[in-house]
Amino acid sequence: MNALNNDIKYLKGVGEFRSKLLSKLNIFTIGDLLEHFPRDYINRRSAVKIRDLKFAENCSFVGNIVSVEKIQRPHKKSQLNVVVTDGEDYLFLTWFRFGNWFIDQFKNGKQIWVSGIVSEFRGTPQILHPQTEILDEEDMKLDFWKTRSVLPVYPLTEKISMNVMRNLIYKAFELYADEIEENLPPYIAEKFNFPDRKTALQKIHFTQHPYSIPQEKIRFAFEELFFTQLMLARSKYGHEKKQNGNKFTLEKTFTTKLKNSLPFELTNAQKRVIREFVEDMTSSKQMNRLLQGDVGSGKTIVTIFAMLLAIENGFQSILMAPTEILAEQHFNSISKLLSNQPKIRIALLKGGVSKAKTELKQKIKNGEVDIIIGTHALIQKDVEFNNAGFVAIDEQHRFGVEQRAVLSHRNSNPDLMYLSATPIPRSLALTVYGDLDVSIIDELPPNRKEIKTTYYNFNKSSVVYEKVETQLKIGRQVYVVCPLIKESEKIDLLDAETLFERLSTHVFPNRKIALLHGKMKTKDKDSIMEKFKNGEFDILVSTTVIEVGIDVPNATVMIVEHAERFGLSQLHQLRGRVGRGSDRSYCYLIVHPPISEEGRERLNIMIETNDGFKIAEKDLEIRGPGDFFGTQQSGIPIFKHANIIRDRELLKTARILAFDIIDEDHELDLTKNEILNKVYFSKYAKREKLFDF
Ligand code: ADP
Ligand code: MG
């Protein structure tokens, strides 16, 4: 086994204690340490002068400390001022949050590296809360570092100092550099002009010319993207090769009847998507398709076509939704749309136990129902389908990988469709769902009007309430969303309970108002939602628990309190609860200052566009892929070096190359792919099954 795979604790100078600390940086092996890259570099001999620092820009500077002063004014936060000089001018470094141990590191005369955004204080340049490092040769220990002008700056964790990190990496190189192996065949490395792996690593850590190493860094980003795509390519190839799906024929009985009875014309996007899956379903490959479309874009109707196609071939169709209320909503709307086709038998399978349920399960098993709609109840062991030909999973990201797998494997290889109302930016879709075919409904039905979005300061709430009153007078309904349920001592936010009180007693005393939040029992929540849907309440005050897919066409106003606190995708999802009928809808974003620059940018984007894909792109840009789906999303690969936003072009290139290679050589048996075979099957293949749902 390659020594780079050895546990990091066996590296000289690490041991049990430090290895625990390093694990927080995702460093578990010696190889991981070698791939712990600098986030910046310090040039100790930098000749940058203070007068050359650019205002409002991120600058690095090396100088000497001339004074250290802690200022404590009565009733004010204490302040630390450290003044540094280049021999001619002065620069103020200022902190407002610091401990005493922090002050102790700054001593007059010491050389210091400083990095941060330059501002100005009474005519003198200043950096607030800069990053710093005292450049003390005595602390460097190794002669190697003492002779260097340029030093790497590493991401650190508590109790591992910069010098310790530098020394560990230097040691790891000294002992293990010869173990660094190539992982790309020459034909790929040459194509991109990549330096060999060892040289690249060496340069990244020990360069004296930090601005001359982009190609070295790109190499590592490429590796991550490429091997992930190789995995996806193999998984997709696996699906397609199997050809074990049901080969349906378009009988045009139930499907045509549905088409002719629709109260509206399908949009072009809907027609295109229907063509895409009809092609899959009439071939012998098992369909694996992600259907993306903004809330209200009409995914349900498209899904019903697929259901009927399976049913007119004598199979059953299944729709799984994440909650009972959504399952019920689907059941009602599907029953309505198919009311002129009594031959199609539709059933809703609920949770819990009852005699009726036992009977229904028997019917499902005997093939006495054609469409089965339900929640997780569908994947319980005792539910057996007669012959599932098509399975749709609504809000698919709310289910775990295993749950999805149950439906696809336990049955007769049904065609699968995953529905998503969260528009997923292309670069993210390619890395997370890169082995699925993707259909996108990128067009809303024509009768929709843009949701008019505006933002107001909270002290202008009365203006908003007047506008709300006009809507209430003509019989429309209103959502109000707050970030918290209860008043909190820790955070000064308007909460749902307080707002509910205020609206019920002062603002709209004559209206029927309901309160909904996540601490309520599911049954109570569902019943309130149901009543709101039936028009029994005028206003629903809620936390963010209102279901994404809920369809209340009569609700035309969405008010979001503390809009500055919500992420873009979340705001877009909330806004999507209105605008589902043909009346004009309104979204009021109420802000409670202070509001950050980024917060303001988010609000402006919401006002500028209703386009879910544009908003998702922006959201991904601002928050990064980890936070985009929320933490519970499984299957997002964690990249150390690649950034799918910054590197989207590289991702495309890596994807094309990976898919071409697998197309030609799906088991990586060819001599030219020998290195790939070795690396892939030892490191990546074990993750394949995660993607195979
Ligand atoms: P999604 O599931 O994508 O959020 P739905 O399928 O629930 O959207 O559709 C939202 C509403 O739009 C439903 O009331 C549906 O009947 C209606 N609808 C769907 N397609 C069209 C269309 N082409 N023209 C007009 N209305 C449509
Ligand atoms: Mg839906």
> Could you report the per-residue pLDDT of 525-560, keeping only the tens digit for each?
888 988 999 999 999 999 887 766 678 999 999 999
Residue nearest to atom 10 of ligand 1 (CA): 296
Quote the pTM value.
Answer: 0.75
DSSP 252: -
Q: Token match 């450049």: residue? A: 135
**Nearest atom of ligand 1 to the alpha carbon of 293:** 3
Distances in Å between the alpha carbon of 492 and those of 488, 542, 599, 603?
7, 18, 17, 21
Q: How confident is the model at residue 547, as a pLDDT?
A: 65
Q: How far is the CA of 421 from the centre of ligand 2 (A)?
A: 7
Q: How far is the CA of 267 from the centre of ligand 1 (A)?
A: 10
Q: How far is the CA of 547 from the centre of ligand 1 (A)?
A: 16
Cα torsion 30, 34, 40, 45: sign: positive
Evaluate: CB of 447 within 6 angstroms of ligand 1: yes
Those residues of the chain that have pLDDT short of 70 are 1, 397-411, 486-493, 547-549, 625-637, 687-693
**Nearest atom of ligand 1 to the alpha carbon of 270:** 23
Residue to substitute in 262, 301, 443, 449 for testing ligand 1 pocket (most ligand atoms within 8 angstroms of CB): 301
**Nearest atom of ligand 1 to the alpha carbon of 299:** 3
What residue ranges of the chain are covered by domains with CATH 2.40.50.140? 45-134
Q: Name the helix (H) or strand (E) containing 233.
A: helix 214-242
Q: Quick one: tokens of 590?
A: 């109420």
**Which superfamily does 452-609 belong to?**
P-loop containing nucleotide triphosphate hydrolases (3.40.50.300)
Evaluate: CB of 301 within 6 angstroms of ligand 1: yes
Q: How far is the CA of 418 from the centre of ligand 2 (A)?
A: 11
**Nearest atom of ligand 1 to the alpha carbon of 294:** 3
Evaluate: CB of 330 within 6 angstroms of ligand 1: no
Which CATH number does 45-134 carry?
2.40.50.140
Q: How confident is the model at residue 309, as a pLDDT?
A: 96
Distance CA(421)–CA(294), nearest Å, equals 5
One-character DSSP codes across 613-658? HHHHHHHHHHH-HHHHS-TT---PPPPSS--TTTTHHHHHHHHHHH
What residue ranges of the chain are covered by domains with CATH 3.40.50.300? 254-441, 452-609
* 3-state secondary structure labels for all residues of 100-134: HHHHHCCCCCCEEEEEEEEEEECCEEEEECCEEEE
Which of 454-478 are b and which e, b meaning 16 or more Cβ less than 10 Å from the residue's Cβ? Answer: ebbeeeebeebbeebeebbeeebbb
The ligand minimizing its distance to the Cα of 302 is 1
Evaluate: CB of 297 within 6 angstroms of ligand 1: yes
Q: How confident is the model at residue 632, as a pLDDT?
A: 44
Residue nearest to atom 19 of ligand 1 (CA): 298
**Which superfamily does 254-441 belong to?**
P-loop containing nucleotide triphosphate hydrolases (3.40.50.300)
Q: How confident is the model at residue 692, as a pLDDT?
A: 46
Q: How many CA atoms, within 13 angstroms, populate the side-chain half-sphere of residue 465? A: 15
- Of 198, 194, 266, nearest to 223 (Cα)? 194
